Structure 1
Amino acid sequence: MKNPIKVLIAEDHTIVRNGIVALLEKEQDIEIIADAKNGQEVLEYLKKGTEPDVILTDINMPDMNGMELIATVSSNYPKIKTLVLTMLEDEKHVIQALDSGAQGYLLKNVNIPEIIFAIKQITSGYKYVCTSVTLKLLSQINGRYTGASTQLKTDVEISKREVEILSLIAQGFTNSEIADKLFTSKRTIEGNRQNLLEKTGTKNTAALISFVVRNRIID
């Protein structure tokens, strides 16, 4: 029998945290090994040897919020996957979480089966963003490319290496993961990403990916 996926939950509201624990504990493929009210408590668990496969975390928490936790875990515990569960659905937080190293992003209006599905997806090596967030981001991106802005920009010169990087960004890989795959440094990838934003005149990752897909730079 396959070992259950070990999950650590970080949520500052006790009732919400206990409810998530109670519902996920019913799933045979998932084992809740600890729960915490903020990122600092999560790090204390990790330092003591607790080894979750997935950290399911809120963003707004006292002492250490979810974004800080994600970045710290990504840097110091790269084998641990992080999955956001939050009320925050704006583009800024979604992009920040994924860029910080989160493998998935869920809103608190999702049902338990979708949380379970997301946990299984990210432990299988995939990224997962809930449908409502994806649709909202696509709507926002499409809204920026109406009227004159729908004209494709054909004078942008993209190198073969930059196309490789764009493809990996589109697949949801972090700067560190891309650096590992391309045998270069994280700093180099960060520089390439910034150059691509400037070349394409885009302001963030979501807009960059929309641009390169619309211009058929990547499929």
Structure 2
Amino acid sequence: MPALSISIAIVDDHTLFRSGLASLLDEFDEIKVLFEGINGLDLQNKIKNHPDLQLILMDINMPVMDGYAATKWVKENYPNINILALSMLEDEKAIIGMLKAGAGGYMLKESTPIDLLNAIKAITEKGFYVNDLVSGRLLVALKDGDAKPIFSARELTFLQHCSSELTYREIADLMNVSPRTVDNYRESLFAKLNIKSRTGLVVYAIKNNLIKI
């Protein structure tokens, strides 16, 4: 039985790029392009007609309403829709700006089709996508200004269990979830905190009074 396709939208003011990308992604069985938009305002007008939309590929520099404003609006009004920034800009300001607005990942337009497909799959499954552009900068974005990492109740429960001697599989059993779900909790925390080990997570949790010892 084939896997369900991921419903996406492409928002970019360059018609040739947008249409070309839509045609390219339509070649993948895993992707279904619901609609295209030329800017954030166009997106606002079209999104209401597509309740099944799961992910938006969002350009940054667009007239009328740019990617920063459009991303913030989407996350405020449709928080369950994931956003993957897709831009020619490689500077840190653009990356952090989109992450702070609510994007779950950032890719360059020069990326290969298979890399883009993998990013779409990752962000749909986990809510974020980490690559060479984002890794190490996500923490900066979260720590900048008054912004602080936000943890789900399940992530905090997972953190508490991490301070024990339980294996990840045992933690999964205790939380009544699959080992893969526990892996997602771990990877999400690694990405949010720029930490790469279980010990690091526990130390952070203790220092920030997130768990009881």
TM-score strictly above 0.5 = yes
Contact 1:107 1:130 (C-alpha < 8 Å) held by counterparts:
no
Please tell me whether the aligned partners of residues 34 and 50 of structure 2 are also in contact (alpha carbons under 8 angstroms).
no
Matches within 5 A, 1:83-122: 83-122=84-123
RMSD: 3.0
Task: Please report how far the alpha carbon of residue 104 of structure 1 lies from its aligned counterpart in structure 2 after TM superposition.
Answer: 0.8
1:91 deviates by: 0.8
d(CA) in 2 for partners of 1:74, 1:116: 22
Deviation larger for 45-54 or 101-110: 45-54
Partner residue, 1:64: 65
Equivalent pair of 2:82/2:127 in contact (CA under 8 Å): no
Query: What residue in structure 2 maps to residue 153 of structure 1?
Result: none
TM-score if structure 1 supplies the norm length? 0.63
Match of 2:32 in 1: 31
| Alpha carbons 1:104, 1:129 under 8 Å: kept | yes
Provide closer, same or farther for how the CA distance between residues 53 and 33 of structure 1 changes in structure 2, counting only shifts above 3 A.
same
Identity value in percent: 34
> How many angstroms does 1:51 deviate by?
3.1
| Separation of aligned partners in 1, 2:76 and 2:127 | 19
Question: Are residues 177 and 35 of structure 1, via their aligned partners in 2, closer, same or farther at CA, if it must alter by over 3 Å?
Answer: farther
AA aligned to 1:44 is: N
Change (3 A) 1:79 1:3: same
1:96 partner amino acid: G
Task: Give the structure 1 partner of residue 15 of structure 2.
Answer: 14
Shift in Å at residue 100 of structure 1?
Answer: 1.1
CA distance in 2, matches of 1:49, 1:22: 19
1:178 aligned residue: 150
Tell me how far 1:82 sits from its aligned partner. Answer: 0.4
> What per-residue deviation string (whole Å, max 9, x for no partner) do you get for residues 109-130 of structure 1?
1111111001000011142244
Q: Is the 8 A contact 1:106 1:129 kept in 2?
A: no
CA distance in 1, matches of 2:11, 2:153: 30
Structure 2, gaps ≥5 residues long: 155-192, 206-213
